[in-house]
Amino acid sequence: MSDLLRQEVTATAEKIVVKVGTRVLTDRQGKLDLDRISSLAKQLTSVAESGRQVVLVSSGAVGAGMNRLGINARPTDVATLQAIAAVGQTDLMQTYQTLFNQHGRIAAQVLLTANELDDRVSYLNVRNTLLELLELNVIPVVNENDTVSVDELQTTFGDNDQLAGLVTNLLGAQLLIVLSDVNGLYTGCPDDEESELVSTVTSLNEVISGYVQESSGGLGSGGMGSKLNAVRMVTSAGENAVIANGREKDVLTRVLAGETLGTLFVAEGKTLSPWKRWLRFSAQTHGTITLDDGACDAIQQGGSSLLSIGIARLEGHFNKGDVVQLCDASGRELARGLTNYNSDELQKIRGHRSEEFLQILGQCPYEEVIHRDNLALV
């Protein structure tokens, strides 16, 4: 069964990111499920052979390491988790490479940390590497570098869900497919008989967020909440996403054929430029600028630059060129942008007009604190 909207979304997606979770890759004993991974490799190869470009974001290093070391319960301390991930990453990638080889495809391992997507130069280097691998007809297998990254192991990245969203935006991919151990988004707990599967979501509003029911247990660390955060990252940048059950037979092939599987999340708003995507989603903020009501309206409604006269207060220490968040009086984040002045200079000129900068600072290199071209609304 398919519908026209799904057919249009999947047929027009030339670049696709597929995220697969630990619970899909492993069996009930926590061992890598070779049959399922082989099927995934076959389906990904088929997508690549159709002329489309596909990137796999894969979890499973910790699970594979636990299996190799004979550990039954996921440890809680970071050092042990990092060691287990180092062991498991080798097994996981070897498995992928072996199975992709059986289907005549080459896989490449790409390990990332949040810092590499925060720094603009590193971000572009990662993007160029992934794009070149795709041009070489290689399927990149991306994973958070668990052996050095503390955040992901403490589940900040939600079992690579956030990483999948970041990679989707980094590449400008038109579709993110998240393969999980549930059929999609339900109106309540998936095990509840009264809960219904939501087929299509056109707006990630409070009602949709209220459907989230988290579960605990197993090897994975990402629940539906982290998946919706990744989906929101993608749809707000103007792209589409699907959450489906990775244990379904030929799920990837069927989703891309437009079959009504899982939950489709439709793009909201216009497509963001690559620059705005980095600024909004990947760059880490170094401080906060609170705006008065007039500045809030000018930025949100008028698409204006930020002027110092509209700044009410500052928080944090930051330098010129750092990314800062812009908030209203209640603390709600409105935008992010690159500041033309450091925090010490802004403390002196906030609330003043640009023609007063020369007298206050002895110079006036910029009239705007943040130019509108360097602003991304949240």
DSSP 239-293: -EEEEEETTSTTHHHHHHTTB--SEEE---SSPPPHHHHIIIIISPP--EEEE-H
- In the prediction, which pLDDT does 212 show? 82
Task: Encode the chain (378 residues) as per-residue pLDDT tens digits.
Answer: 458 889 999 999 999 999 998 889 988 777 788 999 999 999 999 999 999 999 999 988 887 888 888 887 778 788 888 888 888 888 899 999 999 999 999 999 999 887 888 899 999 999 999 999 999 999 999 998 755 555 544 444 445 899 999 999 999 999 999 999 899 999 988 888 888 999 999 988 888 888 886 544 444 445 888 899 999 999 999 999 999 999 999 999 999 999 999 999 999 988 899 999 999 999 999 999 999 999 999 999 988 999 999 999 999 999 999 999 999 999 999 999 999 999 999 999 999 999 999 999 999 999 999 999 999 998
Nearest 10 degrees: Cα torsion 98, 102, 107, 111: -30
**78 by DSSP, 3-state: which?**
helix
- In the prediction, which pLDDT does 145 show? 76
Nearest 10 degrees: Cα torsion 6, 12, 14, 20: -10
Task: Please identify which residue in the block is written with the tokens 């930020």.
Answer: 306
Output phi, psi for 132, to 5 deg.
-70, -40
- In the prediction, which pLDDT does 155 show? 40
- In the prediction, which pLDDT does 80 show? 86
Domains parsed from the chain with CATH numbers: 4-276 (3.40.1160.10), 285-377 (2.30.130.10)
CA distance 233 to 143: 18
Please state the pTM of the whole predicted model. 0.89
**223 by DSSP, 3-state: which?**
coil
| CB 87, CB 67: distance < 8 Å | no
Cβ-in-10-Å burial (0-12, 13-18, 19+) of 289 comes to buried
* Full strand arrangement of the beta sheet holding 288-291: 311-315, 288-291, 323-327, 333-338, 375-377
- Please report which helix (H) or strand (E) contains residue 317, including its range: none
Give me the count of residues in the chain: 378
- In the prediction, which pLDDT does 152 show? 47
**Residue partners of 353: CB distance under 8 A and separation at least 6:** 307, 308, 309
Task: Extract the tokens encoding 163.
Answer: 């990483």
